[in-house]
């Protein structure tokens, strides 16, 4: 008998199983619900074991700027290695979090696709409100692009120019640009390490 309700196949039971293996998943848009969940999971896992690695698997069209900045702050704050993996797509906020992983531990599956752009925000209201919102948006864009430049090793000017329009990267191009360090070719690369062990690729 067919079910009318659309029960998600990737449910909380599956997420709990992955969490027990220190794997977090951003599937779909990053928003004000799953963003804080990922933040608290990162902090909780780091508190439980500061030496064991954490993996963040990303398949996302993008989402909340505030959430992605907070998650990056936490990745920089926790003492353990945070490995990131792009599978499927990593767009906008997804791309940002992908490149925010611990250097040397950022991965992409061979046929994943990465999108970088500046993003957008709805601006409206009175002339004064529009001006204030525009100033805030400019500051946010500068902050985000500056962090992408820091994480990729690219000059800010190049990141700015490349972000003016949607720019898609293959896994190989993403590695060349500095979003990721490795293209996955072995299973151990995507499994959290119980100790800080570098994996060559």
Q: Kindly write down the DSSP assignment for every residue of 109-171, as one continuous string.
A: -TT-EEEE--------SSHHHHHHHHHHHHHHHHHHHHHHHHHH---HHHHHHHHSS-EEEEH
Distance CA 38, CA 123 (A): 28
Q: Is 165 a catalytic residue?
A: no
- Is 62 within 8 Å of 29 (Cβ atoms)? yes
Distance CA 121, CA 123 (A): 6
Of the candidates 55, 60, 83, 92, the residue annotated as catalytic is 92
Residue 113: count other Cβ atoms within 10 Å of its Cβ. Answer: 18
Phi, psi torsion values for 77, nearest 5 degrees: -80, -40
Helix (H) and strand (E) counts in the chain:
7, 7
Distance CA 106, CA 90 (A): 12
Task: Give me the active site residues, please.
Answer: 92, 117
């Amino acid at each position: 008998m067919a079910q009318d309700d659309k029960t998600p196949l990737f449910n909380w039971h599956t997420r709990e199983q992955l969490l027990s293996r220190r794997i977090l998943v951003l599937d779909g848009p990053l928003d004000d619900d799953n963003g804080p969940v990922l933040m608290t999971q990162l902090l909780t896992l780091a508190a439980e074991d500061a030496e064991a690695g954490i993996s963040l698997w990303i398949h996302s069209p993008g989402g909340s700027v505030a959430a992605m900045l907070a998650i990056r702050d936490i990745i920089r704050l926790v003492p353990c290695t945070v490995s990131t993996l792009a599978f499927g797509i990593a767009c906008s906020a997804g791309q940002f979090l992908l490149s925010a992983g611990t250097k040397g531990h950022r991965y992409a599956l061979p046929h994943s696709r990465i999108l970088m752009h500046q993003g957008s925000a709805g601006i409206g209201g009175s002339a004064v409100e529009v001006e204030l919102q525009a100033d805030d948006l400019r500051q946010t864009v500068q902050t985000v692009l500056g962090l992408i430049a820091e994480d990729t090793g690219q000059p800010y000017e190049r990141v700015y120019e490349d972000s003016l329009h949607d720019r898609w990267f293959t896994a190989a191009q993403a590695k060349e640009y500095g979003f990721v360090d490795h293209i996955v070719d072995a299973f151990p690369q995507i499994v959290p390490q119980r100790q800080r062990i570098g994996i060559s690729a």
